Amino acid sequence: MRLYIVDAFTSEAFAGNSAGVVLLDSPGDAGWMRSVAAELKHAETAFVEVGGEGPKSLRWFTPETEVDLCGHATLATTHVLGGEQTFTTRSGELRCRAEDGWVSMDFPSDPPRESDDDLSSILPGVSFEYVGRGRQTLFAVVDDAAMVRSLDLDLAALRAHWTGRLMVTAPGDLDGIDFVTRYFAPGIGIDEDPVTGSAHCVLAPYWAARLGRDELVGEQASARGGIVRMNLEGDRVLLSGQAVTVASGELHV
């Protein structure tokens, strides 16, 4: 089986979010895929069936569990395969395209719903403008990008809260950046995700409504960092980013 390591949502190696991509000729066993993901230790590893015709089955695993949607590993997979791709996934059919050094992905929108979650144990002393939930992720808005960049939160408290996933966002503080975000997911084995494509399915509808426009650029301000371009189209979000292949080889087991 062919194996690739791809840095997604970046034009430079060793930045953005790294993903494994495994090309399968036939369906893989879930336990085996989880073991491969744990061995590779990336936030997510994508497993895509390329042996047949038509839409390709695509699944994503963290080192601990299978997830319903992963943007950066889908971007990495499309980057490896090239051209137009249609994937069947746990989040429905996803259409993607690699063209002129960019990958675009048509994902379902996930507008946040306001909630009364108490985040004081996770982020003590932090004042929030808004707290909500996406389908699986807590969503919190603060007023200062510098606060987002310097966050120091209690990961154990977050892991115990709902699904153990939280994104914190604020208006952008750099030219051309509409908002800044960090994403934490100890509930699925990822203390901090470098760049989270699926999080922008929640971020795009919130910031589009707040800023009054559908085309947006977000910065995920992790140590590796990355840029995500978004275009909100009804109940879909068109996510775009770049990617770099840093390694390729064969998986022998």
Which residues belong to the active site?
Answer: 44
Contact 203, 169 (CB under 8 A): yes
Which 3 state secondary structure label does DSSP give 97?
strand
Calpha distance 203→140 (Å, rounded): 10
Residue 168, φ and ψ in degrees, nearest 5? -125, 130
Nearest one of 19, 157, 135, 34 to 75, comparing CA atoms = 19
Q: From CA 48, how far away is CA 241, in angstroms rounded?
A: 20
Question: Is the dihedral angle over the CA atoms 76, 81, 83, 85 positive or is it negative?
Answer: negative
Helices (H) and strands (E) in the chain, counts: 5, 18
Element (H, E) at 80: helix 71-81
Query: Which two structure tokens, joined as six digits, stand for 118?
Result: 């108490």
Contact 2, 23 (CB under 8 A): yes
Which residue shows structure tokens 């709902």? 162
Q: Which amino acid is at 100?
A: D
Burial call 117-136: b when 16+ CB within 10 Å, e when fewer:
bebeebbeeeebeebbbbbb
